[in-house]
Amino acid sequence: MDKYIELNTGRSMPRLGLGLYKTSNGSEMESAFNSAVTMGYRLFDTASAYKNEDGLGAAIASCQLPRRELFITTKIWNNAQRIGNIESAFARSLERLGLDYVDLYLIHWPVPGCYLDTWQVLEDIYRSGRAKAIGVSNFNEFQLDEILEHGSIVPAVNQIEYHPLFVQDGIRRFCQQNGIVVQAYAPLARGAYLEKDIMSQIAAKYNRSAAQVGLRWILQKGCCVIPKSVRDDRLLENSQIFDFTLDEYEMEAIEGLNENYHAASIPEDLLV
Ligand SMILES: NC(=O)c1ccc[n+]([C@@H]2O[C@H](COP(=O)([O-])OP(=O)(O)OC[C@H]3O[C@@H](n4cnc5c(N)ncnc54)[C@H](OP(=O)(O)O)[C@@H]3O)[C@@H](O)[C@H]2O)c1
């Protein structure tokens, strides 16, 4: 399997990236970023809501790699959508990151009554070249259909929670049929499936860890993964998922773990 996937923009995106939720600014960010780059990670996933764009920006500034080799994703948060100041929120994200463009800009959550307007502004940002791709996160089929109907650009990515305990195959298929790459967040379910017997059995067969088997299963579903870790041993472990293949019985057995379990929560202000 190629380590990159082509987006509907014609550009490529790494199938593996480093999730940065709950990674602190300063030494934790610097150390995780530098270790990850050395191990071959090129995609880094942040958001204005994570409050660490500036920490990531500092790490990028001291990185020896050419900017074009990195793939940086950030996201617009719900408040900015409600207030309607998308442009200035985006400009602040760029400033904190110390960048003149991001590789992917996402609508973090589909704020009811706002996301269609937000998408219009993201289209303008894309056309200006300051985001090389635009996409969404946590969108269901209905919400994506609205974007497809009212927008003029098809989202490049839908970043959703997807892992063996939460197999959202309806939305996965819908995205894949419409040329939208699914990027799986919380791909380790924050650890919730790592102790399951079936995961240990398959992991033992390949001399891998349960985390590697779970991430590989997601890749073989045609999705991308952004596991988070700040530990070197786990960063390395999570990156070694391109050199073994699960068979169809193993794929099905892992799918059998599905219990529609949400590792990540929906922001309270979207529940009203
Ligand atoms: N768009 C959205 O709404 C949304 C929502 C949630 C997350 N995300 C993105 O997706 C990324 C990943 O999701 P996540 O951080 O929620 O969860 P995750 O990647 O499923 O799990 C991360 C947790 O697992 C631990 N871990 C990492 N590798 C491990 C391994 N090999 N074995 C055992 N434990 C391991 C990490 O601890 P250590 O750091 O101590 O290793 C951390 O506690 C986020 O960082 C963020 O970038 C997006």
DSSP helix/strand/coil, 210: helix
The residue whose two tokens read 């068979």 is 247
3 state DSSP class of 4: strand
Whether the Cβ atoms of residue 72 and residue 102 lie closer than 8 Å to each other: yes
**Tens digit of pLDDT for each residue in 142-172?**
999 999 999 999 999 999 999 999 999 999 9
136's tokens: 């969404």
For this structure, is 4 an active site residue? no
CB-defined site of ligand 1, < 6 Å: 19-21, 45, 108, 137-138, 159, 185-191, 194, 211, 226-231, 234, 237-238, 264
Residue nearest to ligand 1 atom 23, measured at CA: 190
HSE value, Cβ hemisphere, 13 Å, CA-based, for 175: 29
In angstroms, the CA 160 to CA 32 distance is 23
Residue 267 pLDDT > 90: no
Q: Are residues 90 and 248 in contact, defined by beta-carbon separation less than 8 angstroms?
A: no
The CA angle 22-208-237, to the nearest 5 degrees, is: 35
Task: Give me ligand 1 centre to Cα 219, in Å.
Answer: 16
**CA–CA distance, 148 with 115 (Å, rounded to integer):** 12
Mutate to test the pocket of ligand 1, among 229, 236, 268 (most ligand atoms within 8 A of CB): 229
At the fourth CATH level, the homologous superfamily of domain 4-192+222-231 is NADP-dependent oxidoreductase domain (3.20.20.100)
**What is the pLDDT averaged over residues 110-114?**
95
Domain ranges of the chain: 4-192+222-231
Question: Which pLDDT band holds residue 181 (cuts at 50, 70, 90)?
Answer: very high
Round to whole Å and give the CA distance between 153 and 166.
29
> What pLDDT sits at residue 272?
66
Indicate whether 271 pLDDT > 80: no
What is the pLDDT, as a whole number, of residue 170?
Answer: 97
Is residue 174 within 8 Å of 153, Cβ to Cβ? no
What separation in Å is there between the alpha carbon of 59 and the centre of ligand 1?
A: 19
What pLDDT does residue 27 have?
97
User: pLDDT tens digits for 57-110?
Assistant: 999 999 999 999 999 999 999 999 999 899 999 999 999 999 999 999 999 999
Closest approach atom of ligand 1 to CA 209: 31
Catalytic residue among 21, 41, 50, 101: 50
* pLDDT tens readout for residues 198-251: 999 999 999 999 999 999 999 999 999 999 999 999 999 999 999 999 999 999
pLDDT at 268: 83
β-bridge mates for residue 43, sequence order:
17, 71
C-beta of residue 134 within 8 angstroms of C-beta of residue 104? yes
